[in-house]
Amino acid sequence: MKRFACGWGIGLLVGIMSGIAFLAAPLYISLSVAASTAQPILLFENDRVKAWNLTLEPGQSTPQHTHQLDEIVICLESSRLRIVKPGPEPEGETVHPNAGDVFMPKVKGVTHVLTNAGETRYRQISIELKER
């Protein structure tokens, strides 16, 4: 009987610890994603264009970067975005492109950080237009 009770107690303890780990995992994952930076993935390049895929989870940002080329953006998944340009008094704006929107932001020569300030994932395809 002692062996049965000991085994049952250990099983219960392992079950409780597994449940806590299972419930805490999404919190840990969301905190680690929120603190990370996202790098765009190069999908295609030729002598005329470069195509990039960018995914930003909620709270995630791009590194500070400067655009060398004009680009066309296709929004695949919508979220609220915060765009901040560095400086002694950083300039910022918040935008909310909708899935399916296609636009050409004035970014050539612009340095900024893009942050997903919404509660859903943001995805876009950017097509940089090379000068001929």
Whether 30 has a pLDDT exceeding 90, the answer reads no
Residue 71: give its domain's CATH number: 2.60.120.10
Is the same domain home to 89 and 25? no
Query: Are residue 81 and residue 17 in the same domain, yes or no?
Result: no
Instruction: Please name the residue that has the structure tokens 């060398």.
Output: 68
CA dist 59 → 24, 27, 81, 86, 102 (Å): 19, 13, 10, 18, 23
Strand pairing of 49-56 and 102-103?
A: unpaired
pLDDT band with cut points at 50, 70 and 90 for residue 31: very low
Q: Are residues 64 and 111 in the same domain?
A: yes
Q: Is residue 58 domain-shared with residue 9, that is, in the same domain?
A: no
Q: Give the rounded percent of residues in the chain with a pLDDT score beyond 90.
A: 67
Work out the mean pLDDT of the chain and round it to a whole number: 83
Residues 6 or more apart in contact with residue 94 via CB below 8 angstroms: 80, 81, 82, 83, 117
Structural domain boundaries enclosing 9: 1-35
Count of domains forming the chain? 2
Amino acid at 43: L
